[in-house]
Amino acid sequence: MGVRSRADAFVLLVNPVQCDGYGHCAELAPDLVHLDEWGYPILGAEPRPVRDHEALHSARLAVRGCPRQALRIERRAAPERPARAGRRTE
């Protein structure tokens, strides 16, 4: 039995070679996808938490709705939160 890493976040990725700029992804996942002036998707690079069920559902719809199958969801570890500043002792 191997060690499984826990993916607490996801990102929506596009293969720019496969994408033909139909724009279905922006209609299906408007909170994750914005279109440039030619209709090609611009995706945020920041991982979204998996517990954001609405965003994950939208991403899945966009992946399924892409006529060129140019989108995919990649699971990632959640970004590290900055350490809280401790009290200074002198």
Instruction: Provide the 8-state DSSP code for 30.
Output: T
- Does residue 89 form part of some domain? no
Looking at every residue in the chain, the average pLDDT score rounds to: 88
The CATH number of residue 58's host domain is 3.30.70.20
| 2 part of a folded domain | no
**Cβ distance 11 to 63 under 8 Å?**
no
Task: Summarize pLDDT for 52-84 with one digit per residue, the tens.
Answer: 999 999 999 999 999 999 999 999 987 666 666
Q: Which residues of 21-38 are buried (b: 16+ CB within 10 A; e: fewer)?
A: ebebbbebbeebbeeeee
Task: Work out the pLDDT band at 7, boundaries 50, 70, 90.
Answer: confident
Given a cut of 60, whether residue 50 has pLDDT beyond it is yes
Q: Can you give the residue range of the structural domain that contains 34?
A: 22-76
What is the model's pTM? Answer: 0.78
- Total tally of structural domains belonging to the chain: 1
Residue 63 covered by a domain: yes
Residue 11 lies in a domain: no
> Is it the case that residue 20 has pLDDT exceeding 80?
yes
